[in-house]
Structure 1
Amino acid sequence: MLSQDQRTEHFRQSMRRLASTVCVISCKSGDVRYGITVTSVTPLSFSPISILACVNKRASISSPLKDEGRYCINVLRASQADVSNSFSGGLPLQERFDIGGWAEIDGIPYLPDAQASLFCEVEQAISYATHDIIIGGVKAAHFAPDIAPLIYQNGSYAVAAPLALQKAG
């Protein structure tokens, strides 16, 4: 039987093999903008149109996100690793928004040149252990015509490429 530490490490190593699209969740409370890099974003339903994201309860965005209730999930492009890095905790809160061409719609900060921008309202926040599962109703979505998302896998950034399918025969 594995110890708790061994199970934790096996889980960590298993998750390094899970490739995820990199997103920045952004919101504003009063005059303060908040943002955090996340990879735990998943479409939930088309009826109602909804998405979920997992946010650490200790993150600076945690309370403002739930209190304000309106936010944007910015799906990053392959060329936006610098934006991801700035929102991963390496910079003070307000300096994070110095990286990238941020704008606002209805008081919600967003990246106009992101791969996609999903404007959401918190429908439900479910507390589980160290994280909140934020279920958001998608009120509007903007997307780039090309598809080139920033991917995170095995502790590094990566890009996605379509597979060339070979014909049988």
Structure 2
Amino acid sequence: MLSQDLSTEHFRQSMRRVASTVCVISCSHDGRRYGITVTSVTPLSFAPISILACVNRNSSINVPLKEEGHYCINVLRASQADISNSFSGGRPAEKRFDIGEWTERDGIPYLASAQANLFCEMDQAISYATHDIIIGRVAGVAFASDVDPLIYQNGAYALTSPMVLQKAG
């Protein structure tokens, strides 16, 4: 039977049932690279083409990201869990970019081998509780021909595969 109780743990357990694509947000500020793993990335609009991401206000990237205003959302491939782990605290901040094929476009670090890259210009940052909702206008994209994103669900990485639907009849 379903519980009707609302608590932090019940909310956490409910959200473990939501599958999310794993991304790394990256930027550069004052000659230093910053990056963080996020799963809260959502397309927002086609006019203007925009996307939102939620970033903890205590994260190392938060202030540089808002001050710089230009960043990349790197959508990770299923084979890039090591990069996700690195940018989610598995490595010191100054060593995170040592894993993966990182390069730069207009001074913005991006993962060349990512599933997709969305180059963004910050439009708004809205503070809510512990996080900032970062709304960016997408200025450029790159994407792989295959579709094989890294997914996070129930506290672990997961893989996707297309469903084969049977025709009615």
TM-score bracket, normalised by the shorter chain, equals over 0.9
RMSD (Å) for aligned C-alpha atoms: 1.0
**1:167 deviation in Å?**
1.8
Q: Which amino acid aligns with 2:145?
A: P
Paired residues, number? 166
Instruction: Supply the AA of the counterpart residue of 1:126.
Output: I
Once the two structures are TM-superposed, the CA of residue 48 in structure 1 deviates from its matched residue by 0.2
| Alignment partner, residue 97 of structure 2 | 97
Percent of pairs with identical residues: 73
Q: Which runs of 5+ in 2 are unaligned?
A: none
Structure 1 CA distance for aligned equivalents of residues 28 and 152 of structure 2: 26
CA drift at 1:7: 1.1
Residue 54 (structure 1) aligns with: 54
Aligned to 2:38: 38
Number of the residue aligned with 2:129: 129
* CA-CA distance at 1:62 after TM superposition: 0.2
- Deviations 1:110-157, CA, capped at 9 Å, x for gaps: 011100000001100000000000000000000000000000000110
Map of 1:17 onto structure 2 = 17
TM-score, L = length of structure 1: 0.96
**TM superposition shift of 1:28:** 0.3
SS at match of 1:148: coil
Query: What do residues 66-111 of structure 1 show as CA deviations (whole Å, max 9, x unaligned)?
Result: 0000000000000100000000012111100001010001100001
| Post-superposition offset of 1:31 | 1.3
Aligned to 2:164: 164
Can you give the 5+ residue segments of structure 1 that lack an aligned partner in the other structure? Answer: none
